Every structure is written in structure tokens, then in C-alpha cells.
């Protein structure tokens, strides 16, 4: 039996473009000439696995995407869209793959948000056991049209980072992402938690840099991220990513109080 439960199948065209773009430049993906990428919980249509494949194949033409879904009816519908490099199968957090091959990347988006916070680490650990050496799990959440998105990168050794990715045009406050944090963090936006400090510091620097809007929201965002660096936040990546409205911080800075990965 697939591990997990059928949940709402809401999905949408272009919804996951921000995380797809991030995966496409990730060293774990680029290191492979024939990456095997899983879209776990693809939902009511084949849209997100097909988009993921077309975005990744621009960088690694021999990419294979396997869409895995726990609802058999959704798998049957998606199979009508199978094509070279994209296949679909029934499964859950156990991530079934032919021949027991390990995945280069498992992307699980808007799946765990419908589960209880208490099961997150257990299911992260289960999914990361299905990664090939050097592979990553990317687990996160976004709004309906993909303008507000966030995800955690997880390896078999534990979580590595939190990334948030926002459409900067007309952005009022970066803490809008608090509504779309991964399940492990969404209930932790409270005093004393790292993610709560991050939301506050982001908003503060965004407001402080409002005059830079004259040069466009990208300049304002880059200055915001530089402000976080100056404050001592362990920001990862370079301004090339910040320009896209992204911010990645080391997991240690936002890990919930009492978080444990186990051994």
C-alpha cells in the first residue's frame, strides 16, 4: 500500500516555476547527465511533472521525470499525457522507482501541507532514503499562482536550507510568505522561533530600503538581503539568485526550537 493519504488535488499551470528554476541550477541536479527526478503528489493533472521535465531538459536533455501520486484515478488521467522522459505511477512517501533506482531530486510540493506537522520529519526521512548518492529532497509550498513560494532542501543527513522566492513587483511585505511556509515551519512564526525573527528582519530591511524602489524592486530586494547578511544571517548563494526574488538561509538559522533529525 502506498504510504500517505489522498488529499485535495489542486494544481495549476506555471505554479511551480520558481522551484523548478531553482532545481535547474542546483549542483545535485547538474552533476548528473541522466538525472532521475520525482514529482511526488502531482495532483489532479499531469501539468507540474510535464512542466518540470521541459524546464529541466533544457539543462540536461536526458532528464527523466516520474510523477508519483497516491490517488489511482489521478494516475490514470496523467498516464494519457505520458511522453518521452515523463512517466506516471501510483505511490506514496515510499517513492517507488523501477529497479530500486535512487532519485537525483524528489520534489514534493503542496503535499505535506495537508498533513500534521508531527509527521513531517518521519516522511522527510522516508523520502530521503530513496535518493541516489548526492540527491536532494525539495519539500515546500506555494500560493495558487506561484508568486509566493518556499521550500526546504533536505538530504539523508537532514535539512540543509530554507529558500523563499517571491514575485517582487508590488510586494508590500516579504513576510507574506509566512502564509506559505513549509509545514515544518508554518506554525513556528511565533516569538522565540528563528523563522519569526527572519520574517521580522526581512520586513524591516524591505521597509528601510523602500527608497531603492526608484531603481526597481530587484535592487530593493538585493539591498534587503545584504541587510540580512550584515545582521549575521547565514545567507547562502549569490546576488544572481537574489535578483530573482530568492533568499536562501542555512537551516540552522530557522530550525524550529527542539527540532531533531535523529540518527
Ligand X SMILES: C[S@@+](CC[C@H](N)C(=O)[O-])C[C@H]1O[C@@H](n2cnc3c(N)ncnc32)[C@H](O)[C@@H]1O
d(CA 188, CA 178): 9
Q: Does 217 bind ligand X (CB under 6 A)?
A: no
Shortest distance in whole angstroms from residue 37 CB to ligand X? 13
Minimum CB–partner distance for residue 86 and ligand X (Å): 15
Q: Rounded to an integer, what distance in angstroms lies between the CA atom of residue 184 and that of residue 224?
A: 25
Q: Give the whole-angstrom CA distance, residue 166 versus residue 199.
A: 13
Cell output for 93? 512517501
Task: Return d(Cα 196, Cα 183) in angstroms, integer.
Answer: 14
The correct pick among 63, 64, 110, 150 for binding ligand X (CB under 6 A) is 110
Shortest spacing between CB 90 and ligand X, in angstroms:
9
Q: Which of 36, 37, 41, 127 binds ligand X (CB under 6 A)?
A: 41
Crossing angle of helices 47-57 and 17-24, rounded to 10°: 30
Give the residue with the Cβ less far from ligand X, 19 or 255: 19
| Binding status of residue 6 toward ligand X by CB under 6 A | yes
Regarding 246 and contact with ligand X (CB under 6 A), the answer is no
Site for ligand X in 60-89 (CB under 6 A): 68-71, 74
Q: Which of 23, 28, 37, 40 binds ligand X (CB under 6 A)?
A: 40
Q: Give the residue carrying C-alpha cell 539543462.
A: 59
- What are the helix (H) ranges across 116-238? 120-128, 183-186, 194-208, 217-231
Contact residues for ligand X, defined by CB under 6 A = 3-4, 6-12, 15-16, 40-43, 48, 68-71, 74, 92-93, 109-111
Amino acid at each position: 500500500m502506498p504510504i500517505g493519504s489522498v488529499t485535495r488535488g489542486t494544481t495549476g499551470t506555471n505554479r511551480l516555476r520558481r522551484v523548478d528554476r531553482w532545481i535547474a541550477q542546483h549542483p545535485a541536479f547538474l552533476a548528473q547527465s541522466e538525472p532521475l527526478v520525482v514529482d511526488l503528489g502531482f495532483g489532479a493533472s499531469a501539468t507540474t511533472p510535464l512542466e518540470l521535465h521541459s524546464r529541466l531538459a533544457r539543462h540536461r536533455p536526458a532528464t527523466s521525470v516520474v510523477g508519483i501520486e497516491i490517488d489511482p484515478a489521478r494516475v490514470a488521467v496523467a498516464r494519457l499525457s505520458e511522453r518521452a522522459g515523463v512517466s506516471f505511477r501510483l505511490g506514496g512517501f515510499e517513492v517507488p522507482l523501477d529497479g530500486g533506482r535512487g532519485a537525483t531530486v524528489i520534489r514534493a510540493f503542496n503535499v505535506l501541507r495537508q498533513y500534521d506537522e508531527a509527521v513531517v520529519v518521519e516522511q522527510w526521512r522516508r523520502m530521503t532514503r530513496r535518493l541516489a548518492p548526492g540527491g536532494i529532497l525539495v519539500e515546500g509550498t506555494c500560493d495558487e499562482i506561484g508568486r509566493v513560494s518556499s521550500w526546504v532542501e533536505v538530504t539523508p543527513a537532514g535539512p540543509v536550507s530554507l529558500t523563499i522566492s517571491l514575485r517582487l513587483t508590488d510586494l508590500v511585505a516579504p513576510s507574506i510568505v509566512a502564509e506559505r511556509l513549509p509545514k515544518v515551519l508554518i506554525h513556528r512564526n511565533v516569538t522565540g522561533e528563528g523563522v519569526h525573527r527572519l520574517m521580522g528582519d526581512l520586513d524591516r530591511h524591505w521597509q528601510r530600503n523602500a527608497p531603492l524602489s526608484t531603481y526597481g524592486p530587484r535592487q530593493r530586494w538585493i539591498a534587503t538581503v545584504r541587510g540580512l547578511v550584515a545582521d549575521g544571517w547565514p545567507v547562502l548563494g549569490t546576488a544572481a539568485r537574489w535578483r530573482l526574488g530568492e533568499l536562501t538561509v542555512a537551516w540552522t538559522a530557522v530550525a524550529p526550537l527542539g527540532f531533531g533529525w535523529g540518527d
